[in-house]
Amino acid sequence: MLLIPSHTVEAWLLEDINMGDLTTRTLGLAHTPGEMTFRCRSDVCVSGMAAAKAVMARLDLTVVASLNEGDVASAGSILLQVQGPVERLQQGWKVAQNILEWACGVATQTQKMVSTARSINPKVTIACTRKSIPGTRLLATQAILAGGAVIHRAGTAETVLLFANHRHFLADPDDWASHVAMLRAGAPETKIIVEADTLVEAKAAYQAQPDVIQLDKFGFADVAEIKAHCEQGPHAVTLSLAGGINPATVADYAATGINVLVTSSPYYAKPADIGVQLRPLSS
C-alpha cells in the first residue's frame, strides 16, 4: 500500500466540502447517526481503498467493512461501509466515490490486460509509465499495482532511461557506446535503459550493451528482426515494447515474445460504476 499524505486527503475534501453541507445542515440532519455503503454494480478489481479510507478517517467516520487493494469483487459486493453522523457521511460520499470509481476502473483494465497478455505469454509483464493524468499519480500507481502491473517509472529520479531527446544534446547522438558508458559510470547501481525509435537505432544500441532496449512504436516485423538479432548476439539484453499497447492490441504484442510491454492505457480506462447508499443507523 502506498502512503496517502494527509495534505492530499485534505485537498480532496476541500475541493468539495470546504463550506460544509448546506442541504444536510438546513434539514437539521447534521448529527443524526447513519451508515454509508459503497457497492460495485459490475465486477471490479478493487483499488482506491486506502485513499477512500483515509478520507473517512479524516472525517472521523468509522469503517465497519472494506475490501483490500487487488481484491476481485463481483457485482453487488460491498466495497466499503462506514458509520457516523450524517453530515460527515455526506461530506465523504462523493469524494470517496470518485476515488473508488476512477481507481477501480484503472485497476480493472490493468488486470484484464495482464490476464490477456499472460494467456498468450505467461512470462510477460505489463509496465505502466509515468504518463498519468495530472494530479492522479498516487492513485494511478496504486491502481496499476492492484491490477497486477508493475511501475515502469514512478518518476525521473529512480531510473535511467536514455531518450533521443537526451542524445540530441550530446556531441555525437549516435555514439551509443559512449552514452551507455557515461550512464554506467554515473549510476553504477542502476540498470541502463535506452530507447530506440528505429531498427537501425536498436541494432546500434545493442552493441553498446545496455541492460534494456525499449522499442518505441515498432512494427511487428521489426520487433521480430531485432529480437532475433539480440538472441543471436553475444550480449544479454532485455527488450521492451512501448507505444500503442492497449486492451485491443495487447494480445498481439504479447505474441511477439517480448516480455515487457510498456503502456499508459490503463490510466484512461472507463471508471467503474459504484453505487452509494446512505441509511439511518439501526439502533
274/263 same-domain check: no
Collapsed DSSP state (helix, strand, coil) of residue 11? helix
CB neighbours of 53 closer than 8 A, spacing ≥ 6? 63, 66, 80
User: How far, in Å, CA of 278 to CA of 27, rounded?
Assistant: 15
44/127 same-domain check: no
141/59 same-domain check: no
66/142 same-domain check: no
135/227 same-domain check: yes
Instruction: State the CATH number of the domain containing residue 65.
Output: 3.90.1170.20
Beta strand pairing call for 72-73 and 150-151: unpaired
143/26 same-domain check: no
pTM above 0.85, yes or no: yes
CB neighbours of 216 closer than 8 A, spacing ≥ 6? 195, 196, 197, 242, 243
Domain count, the chain: 2
Instruction: State the CATH number of the domain containing residue 140.
Output: 3.20.20.70
Please report whether residue 1 resides in a domain: no
Grouped pLDDT means (10 residues each) for the chain, 283 residues: 87 85 87 96 97 96 95 98 96 97 98 98 97 92 98 90 96 96 96 97 97 97 97 95 97 97 97 97 72
67/138 same-domain check: no
245/143 same-domain check: yes
User: How far, in Å, CA of 222 to CA of 215, rounded?
Assistant: 10
51/153 same-domain check: no
Would you state the pLDDT for residue 146? 98
199/100 same-domain check: no
The residue range of the domain holding 168 is 115-268
For residue 7, the one-letter residue type is H
User: How far, in Å, CA of 68 to CA of 123, rounded?
Assistant: 26
Please report whether residue 122 resides in a domain: yes
135/226 same-domain check: yes
Would you state the pLDDT for residue 283? 54
Residue 281 near residue 36, CB atoms below 8 Å: no
User: How far, in Å, CA of 26 to CA of 137, rounded?
Assistant: 37
> How is the beta sheet containing 78-85 ordered, strand by strand?
62-66, 78-85, 33-40, 274-280
Would you state the pLDDT for residue 19? 80
76/146 same-domain check: no
